[in-house]
Structure 1
Amino acid sequence: MAIDPHHPTPAYLSFWRERHLCTLTTPRPDGTPHVVPVCVTYDPEAGVARVLASRSSAKVRNVLAATEAATEANGSGARVAVCQVDGARWATLEGIARVRTEPAEIAEGERRYEERYGKPPRVNPNRAVIEISLTRAMGARVLKEA
């Protein structure tokens, strides 16, 4: 069922505030999906999800390549999805990703990571943030209060 990613139900937002490992799906340059486990933070007020990553990671390279290809083709950018599952409950956020390397954006990503996951992220001097401008949200068994 579709959900407004900027105005989720309290139950949907609560699920995204629980501590869960998630997956990030990015497009490889050949168009095939690259799916990896990640930690995700969700900020509906800003309409973004964030994933901390190393600047040299495949996920960052995929986002950069897809963004470049989309820009050349007058497209919208790297289309990605993050998903989390807990038994029969699941939630997916989709959107357009870009790589952020500004110190303030990295600090915000780290702050939100610590808030959700209860500990600071490991030290990484080559950190980047994959920031996803959300266009769609969906899920099952996370739409209503229990």
Structure 2
Amino acid sequence: MPVLHPVDWSALPPTLTEFWTERHLCTLSSLDKDGAPHAVPVGAVLDLAQQCAWIITDGGSQKAANLRRDARLAVSQVEGARWSTIIGSATVLDDAASVAHACARYAERYRVPRENPTRVALRISVERFLGSSQVLPR
């Protein structure tokens, strides 16, 4: 399994950045209060300019609570034999500028999100990318 570690944002393979631009739903895995995995579907976007990834969610969601307690996470997406996972940590942000930026990025990949006054942005610091050889060539 190819691994890109540490992340050199200036040298990401085009196959990886293209895969994270195509419309695919993702799975966010965090740890619940008992340390058990909590996996939920999400939309995630890679932000090359800020060298991070973003997810938007409700501030009262279980994923937000989990990540406030333990920031470690994995975000995965798959299409056939192509797959990629981001390993990293998240910061839960509720300031208007961060939420607006995350929503704008989300809209570029998916659609304009519905209004949600309790929305937060999950800013993901990427520690490494994992992926199939179609996404992370050897």
Maintained 8 Å contact 2:29/2:75? yes
Same amino acid, percent of matched pairs? 41
1:30-41 to 2 correspondence within 5 Å?
A: 30-41=34-45
State the SS of the aligned residue for 2:65: helix
1:1-146 to 2 correspondence within 5 Å?
A: 1-3=2-4, 4=7, 6=9, 7-66=11-70, 78-117=71-110, 119-140=111-132, 141-144=134-137
Shift of 1:94: 1.0
Shift of 1:98: 1.1
More off after superposition, 45-54 vs 1-10:
1-10
How many equivalent pairs are there? Answer: 132
Question: How far apart in 2 are the matches of 1:53 and 1:108?
Answer: 13
Extract unaligned runs of 5+ from structure 1: 67-77
Maintained 8 Å contact 2:3/2:136? no
Shift of 1:16: 0.3
Maintained 8 Å contact 1:5/1:93? no
More off after superposition, 4-13 vs 90-99:
4-13
State the SS of the aligned residue for 2:20: helix
Shift of 1:24: 0.3
Shift of 1:5: 5.9
Question: How far apart in 2 are the matches of 1:30 and 1:45?
Answer: 36
Once the two structures are superposed, residues 58-96 of structure 1 have per-residue CA deviations (whole angstroms, 9 ceiling, x without a partner) of: 000101122xxxxxxxxxxx1101000000000001111
Question: How far apart in 1 are the matches of 2:86 and 2:49?
Answer: 14
| CA distance 1:53–1:5, change in 2 (3 Å) | farther
Q: TM-score, normalised by structure 1?
A: 0.86
Q: Structure 1 stretches (4+) deviating beyond 4 angstroms?
A: none
Extract unaligned runs of 5+ from structure 2: none
Once the two structures are superposed, residues 22-41 of structure 1 have per-residue CA deviations (whole angstroms, 9 ceiling, x without a partner) of: 00001111111100000000
